[in-house]
Amino acid sequence: MQLPLIAVLLVAGIIVGILFPGRLTDVFGTATLYVFLPALIFEGAWRLEFRTMRSMAAPIAVLAVPGVLLTAAIIAAGVHYAGRIPWPPALLLGAILSATDPVAVLAIFRRLWLPRMLTTIIESEALLNGILELGIVKTLRSPENLAIFQKSAGHRAATPDMPVTVESLEV
């Protein structure tokens, strides 16, 4: 019996995490923001029907924007108050976890031959979620915000070339 690829990747990630704790954080964080996420956003946008998406812009925006912002705020508040994690890393975690990934839902939609308009709304909402997530994370990681976050935590001011790690935000 063959394991699905996702299970193999999960086990490989756990093994790498055990063998090299904390060493690959910067590499994969950078790769996620600048390689994987843009590729996923491009692939998602490539398959969209622009005419249908434009006609459904209001429902897509109503589903995506408040949903991502509210979810990010709830996650950040929960992590901050329950986990006693400072606001800067709590906000980053909220932003990262707030975007939804509708891969399984869309696979089911394609099998059931649901209306293209419904599929376009879900795909567009996911695409906008990813874009919002990227924007929030990049905004929170800007040098100006890092300086504010680190001053409030008692660190020296951040510089644009300073690497951003969870450790530098004192989790």
Mean pLDDT of 67-74: 90
Percent of the chain with pLDDT over 70: 73
Going by the DSSP 8-state scheme, the letter that residue 163 receives in this structure is: P
For residue 106, the tally of other CB atoms under 10 A from its CB is 17
Q: Is residue 119 exposed (0-12), middle (13-18) or buried (19+ Cβ within 10 Å)?
A: buried
Mean pLDDT of 106-130: 80
Does residue 164 carry a pLDDT above 90? Answer: no
Question: What's the token pair of residue 53?
Answer: 């998406």
Question: What's the token pair of residue 70?
Answer: 């509210």
Does residue 102 carry a pLDDT above 60? Answer: yes
* CA distance linking residue 157 with residue 171, whole number of Å: 17
pTM of the model: 0.60
